[in-house]
């Protein structure tokens, strides 16, 4: 068995590959990497977990191992969102963080995410070294002086949000909200942020359930029926949701419409350009809507395209080159925040945009489409059968002139293979980093053409 880190850590099924033995192996490998690459003297290591099964126990195992290696370990008390751990790393000058989370994966999964001293997900050059340590079963040397301290990161994180969100504007309009925590770590964070400013928020699924109601804790449109019903039946301002570890977002507008991550990223980019008056650029992953490009053009700011994986957007945030960075998979962060996606922040920014502009998100989108034109985006998954897998590498390496009769103008290999056609239409084929599947993303100026594009992509991949 080989333990490999994907776009956001190592994930595996509990009791199958995710075992105590492997947790010890990974923790030892991370500790060895840290002790080899940096001086850990006096610097803490943050360890925490989300609401998944056995999170506390795995955290204790990792914390005790790290302490035995001479680390000063800050063990987060309670269920902790991924962005909160990122803030804790940065604000405490930590050497890094070990986070037990499988994010939005199904409940049978657990995972380990390693973040470096900047609070960002570890880059590939780092995880390759950790994987090499795992393969060799290389342990860090035991050392005296290690300590284990319980640590509550929530107050400092919530205080930090006050520096980035215009809570005064949100409170002034006295909006009413519903929040679906999806049995995850956002409970007691997003709802508390609203209540601390005198706002009313109704909570849904705000208890711990390690099975997440029997499905993936993902804030996608098909998981938010109860949230939509609450918004519509009670005439609420917004319905907001975060995933299992609080780093992804879902938003229901006052009319019950689900605002896709692609479109919220475009709206918030436009909003921040308007209100922050910041000339910095905007970043999106290669799979994210080019509606963002149109906003960048309208606002005369630079557009950065990155591979999939928030770590790459995080680098641009660290270099202070962007006002916002986002991914179609519901990841977002902004200038001055952390190089990690933050679903809690994204939800609060949506509330701020509605309050300051005095317009619903749907109304803001309509304005955007009238100014920039409208793009429709979508994706499908193609199962990676043995037959598809056998020819996948050669297929993605090809340089076709056309697909489905469409002339290809450019081929982009930033991540996977992306075919760009005329009229801002495009198609991306990219193997999943977490499932035996190839994802096909596409975008066009009409819904019918989008569906045709996705089908043409499927036929091309299987042909």
Residues 208 and 355 in one domain: yes
- The pLDDT value recorded for residue 15 is 94
Residues 6+ apart with CB under 8 A from 456: 403, 404, 406, 427
Residues 6+ apart with CB under 8 A from 358: 173
Task: Give the tens place of pLDDT for each residue, 387-411.
Answer: 888 888 888 999 999 999 999 999 9
End-to-end, the C-alpha distance of the chain in Å comes to 32
Domain hosting residue 412, numbered range: 376-462
Domain count, the chain: 3
Q: Return d(Cα 337, Cα 314) in angstroms, integer.
A: 10
DSSP 157-200: HHHHHTTTS-HHHHHHHT-EEEEE-TTSTTTTTHHHHHHTTT-E
Phi-psi region of 6 (alpha: psi -120 to 50; beta: other; left: phi over 0): beta
Q: How many Cα atoms occupy the beta-carbon half-sphere of 326 within 13 Å?
A: 29
Q: Record the pTM.
A: 0.95
On whether residue 440 sits in a domain, the answer given is yes
pLDDT exceeds 80 at position 1: no
Which tokens go with 67? 């302490």
Q: Return d(Cα 194, Cα 201) in angstroms, integer.
A: 7
Task: Give the tens place of pLDDT for each residue, 294-350.
Answer: 999 999 999 999 999 898 999 999 999 999 999 999 999 999 999 999 999 999 999
Torsion 161-6-304-376 (CA) sign: negative
Q: Give the end of a domain, one of 372, 407, 434.
A: 372
Residues found in the chain: 463
Q: Do 120 and 137 contact (CB within 8 A), yes or no?
A: no
Q: If you average pLDDT over residues 405-424, what whole number do you get? A: 95
Q: How many Cα atoms occupy the beta-carbon half-sphere of 397 within 13 Å?
A: 4
Task: Give the tens place of pLDDT for each residue, 145-155.
Answer: 999 999 999 99
Residues 144 and 196 in one domain: no
Q: Give the end of a domain, one of 87, 120, 153.
A: 153
Q: CB atoms < 10 A from the CB of 257, how many?
A: 17
Residues 168 and 249 in one domain: yes
Residue labelled with tokens 């035991």: 142
Residues 146 and 195 in one domain: no
Q: CB atoms < 10 A from the CB of 138, how many?
A: 16
- The pLDDT value recorded for residue 393 is 87
- pLDDT band at residue 238, thresholds of 50, 70 and 90? very high
- The pLDDT value recorded for residue 91 is 96
């Amino acid at each position: 068995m080989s333990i490999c880190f994907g776009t956001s850590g190592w994930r595996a099924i509990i009791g199958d590959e995710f075992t105590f033995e492997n947790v010890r192996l990974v923790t030892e490998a991370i500790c060895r990497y840290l002790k080899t690459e940096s001086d850990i003297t006096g610097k803490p290591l943050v360890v925490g977990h989300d609401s998944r099964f056995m999170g506390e126990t795995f955290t204790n195992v990792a914390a005790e191992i790290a302490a035995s290696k001479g680390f000063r370990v800050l063990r987060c008390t309670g269920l902790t969102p991924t962005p909160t751990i990122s803030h804790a790393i940065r604000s405490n000058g930590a050497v890094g963080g070990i986070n037990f989370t499988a994010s939005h994966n199904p409940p049978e999964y657990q995972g380990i995410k390693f973040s470096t001293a900047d609070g960002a997900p570890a880059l590939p050059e780092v995880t390759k070294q950790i994987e090499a340590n795992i393969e060799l079963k290389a342990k860090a040397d035991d050392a005296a002086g290690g300590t284990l301290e319980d640590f509550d990161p929530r107050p400092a994180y919530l205080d930090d949000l006050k520096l980035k969100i215009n809570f005064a504007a949100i409170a002034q309009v006295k909006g009413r909200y519903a929040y679906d925590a999806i049995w995850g770590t956002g409970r007691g964070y997003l709802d508390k942020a609203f209540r601390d400013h005198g706002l009313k928020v109704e909570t849904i699924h705000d208890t711990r359930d390690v099975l997440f109601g029997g499905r993936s804790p993902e804030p996608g449109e098909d998981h938010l029926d109860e949230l939509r019903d609450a918004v519509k039946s009670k005439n609420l301002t917004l319905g907001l949701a975060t995933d299992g570890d609080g780093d992804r977002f879902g938003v229901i507008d006052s009319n019950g419409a689900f605002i896709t991550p692609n479109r919220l990223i475009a709206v918030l980019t436009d909003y921040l350009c308007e209100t922050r008056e910041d000339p910095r650029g905007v970043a999106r992953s290669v799979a994210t809507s080019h509606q963002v490009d149109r906003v960048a053009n309208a606002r005369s700011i630079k557009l950065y395209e990155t591979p999939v994986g928030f770590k790459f957007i995080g680098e641009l945030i660290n270099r202070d080159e962007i006002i916002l960075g986002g991914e179609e998979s519901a990841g977002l962060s902004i200038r001055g925040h952390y190089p990690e996606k933050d679903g809690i922040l994204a939800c609060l920014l949506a509330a701020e945009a509605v309050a300051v502009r005095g317009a619903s998100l749907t109304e803001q989108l309509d304005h955007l489409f009238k100014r920039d034109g409208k793009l429709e985006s979508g994706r499908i998954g193609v199962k990676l059968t043995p037959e598809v897998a056998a020819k996948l590498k050669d297929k993605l390496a090809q340089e076709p002139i056309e697909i489905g009769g469409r002339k290809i103008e450019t081929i982009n290999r930033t991540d996977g293979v992306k075919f760009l056609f005329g009229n801002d239409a495009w198609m991306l084929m990219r193997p999943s980093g977490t499932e035996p599947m190839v994802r096909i993303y596409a975008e066009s100026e009409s819904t019918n053409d989008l569906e045709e594009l996705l089908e043409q992509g499927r036929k091309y991949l299987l042909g």
